[in-house]
Copies of this chain bind each other. A is one copy, B any other.
Amino acid sequence: MAAKKRIAILGASGYTGAELVRLLLAHPRVEIARLTADRKAGQEMADIYPQFAGADLPRLVALDGVDWAGEALDLVFCALPHGTTQTVIKALVAAAPQTRIVDLSADFRLADVHAYAHWYGHEHQAPELQTEAVYGLTEIYRRQIKQARLVANPGCYTTTAQLPLIPLLKARAIEPARIVIDAKSGVSGAGRAVKEANLFTEVSEGMHAYGVGHHRHMAELDQEFSRAAGKPVIVTFTPHLAPMNRGILATIYVETRRKRSAEDLHGLLDKAYSREPFVHVLPLGQVPQTRHVRATNHVQIGVVQDRIEGRAIICSVLDNLTKGASGQAVQNMNLMLGLPETTALEARAVFP
């Protein structure tokens, strides 16, 4: 049997870190060699995530203490906060240029350094790497991901919306100027950050929109939709917080071009994803539920004809921590390391 690949997770104490550990512990071909978490350095992973009691995992260490060159890591997952990631990865690449990287932050998702500066309010700290980075929406960029040294793992909202819309935009089947994306997310998308707005009492038994009109994920949507359409596209996008742990549902309102019907759109998506292991297009007229992809790397997409001719409603669901973050990261890792793409990702939903 081949030697196991040596893997590190930077920022293992967040929810995407814990989800990476959950997935990788079941992966037969990798070894978790390093876990970093600055504020929790010195603790065991099981101290902060008791579900790992008894698992064979390295103790958490501070980021600064890691000798990148000496570790001989095959791949590093970077699950650090947005903004701090650029300098960390720059240093890592300098010290260990052979090590592959999957970055789960937003820091390398925008290919255009100007767009980055516009949305994030400061110059990018590693512009040459930003140019090199491959956007990690696996089903769309599989070929480039295999070769990439640095993959910018997409956001959870954007993955949910891009998978159904990119094939339709590429086929010129919908009006790019008339896309409305109404997205509902579980609370784990906010991470383990301790904020009043994320208290149980503030989130349970209610719903609300947030970031209306100006959410940062829009830059990612703009970039990929424009690439797909071959011209600038901006969309209306509204995220909402739903009282659940996991799951994103994007309800997408589109207008068809050239008298195409919902059935036509369904056919395009069905064809685009017929061989994909993780993207399931439901029969025309059926809608998916987030709970049926809970804790999995699967995406389910439904297409319904609106009662207004020329319009269709598309529902897309995934688990924000899995296909929306750590699952897609592992999927990308599998490709980058030459492993079967679905390894450790074949689980079906925990439902109920």
Inter-subunit contact A236/B308 (CB<8 Å): yes
Inter-subunit contact B290/A207 (CB<8 Å): yes
Cβ of A1 within 8 Å of any chain B Cβ, yes or no, is no
Inter-subunit contact A247/B350 (CB<8 Å): no
- For A51, the chain B residues whose CB sits under 8 A away are 292-294, 296, 298, 348-349, 351
Binary flags per residue of A322-352, CB closer than 8 Å to B gives 1, else 0: 0000000000000000000000001111111
- For A204, the chain B residues whose CB sits under 8 A away are 187, 200, 204-205, 243-245, 352
- For A304, the chain B residues whose CB sits under 8 A away are 212-213
Interface residues of A in 192-234 (CB under 8 A from B): 192, 194-196, 198-210, 212-214, 218, 234
Binary flags per residue of A179-198, CB closer than 8 Å to B gives 1, else 0: 01010101110001011101
What is the minimal beta-carbon distance from A111 to any residue of chain B, in angstroms?
20
Q: How many residues of A contact B (CB 8 A)?
A: 85
Cβ of A289 within 8 Å of any chain B Cβ, yes or no, is yes
Bound-state Cα–Cα, A7 to B200, Å: 31
A195-B194, A196-B194, A249-B209 as given contacts; A53 in contact with B282, CB under 8 Å: yes
What is the minimal beta-carbon distance from A14 to any residue of chain B, in angstroms?
11
What is the minimal beta-carbon distance from A201 to any residue of chain B, in angstroms?
4
Inter-subunit contact B352/A202 (CB<8 Å): yes
A–B complex contacts, Cβ < 8 Å, 7 sampled: A15-B352, A22-B350, A25-B346, A188-B352, A194-B195, A200-B204, A204-B244
Look across to chain B and name the residue whose beta carbon is closest to the beta carbon of A210. B287
What is the minimal beta-carbon distance from A48 to any residue of chain B, in angstroms?
10
- For A347, the chain B residues whose CB sits under 8 A away are 22, 26, 347
Interface residues of A in 146-181 (CB under 8 A from B): 180
Inter-subunit contact B348/A55 (CB<8 Å): yes
Inter-subunit contact B242/A242 (CB<8 Å): yes
Contact of A244 among B52, B243, B246, B307 (CB under 8 A): B243
Copies per assembly:
4
Contact of A234 among B25, B238, B247, B308 (CB under 8 A): B308
* Of listed A207, A218, A282, residue having the most chain B CB within 10 A: A207
Bound-state Cα–Cα, A304 to B211, Å: 10
Inter-subunit contact A288/B50 (CB<8 Å): yes
Bound-state Cα–Cα, A11 to B311, Å: 39
Contact of A280 among B21, B54, B201, B307 (CB under 8 A): B54
Top-6 shortest CB links A-B: A206-B291, A51-B349, A201-B352, A208-B289, A182-B182, A200-B203
Contact of A208 among B207, B290, B313, B352 (CB under 8 A): B290
Look across to chain B and name the residue whose beta carbon is closest to the beta carbon of A281. B53
Cβ of A264 within 8 Å of any chain B Cβ, yes or no, is no
- For A242, the chain B residues whose CB sits under 8 A away are 184, 207, 242-243
Cβ of A125 within 8 Å of any chain B Cβ, yes or no, is no
Binary flags per residue of A54-88, CB closer than 8 Å to B gives 1, else 0: 11000000000000000000000000000000000
Inter-subunit contact B251/A205 (CB<8 Å): no
Inter-subunit contact A247/B306 (CB<8 Å): no
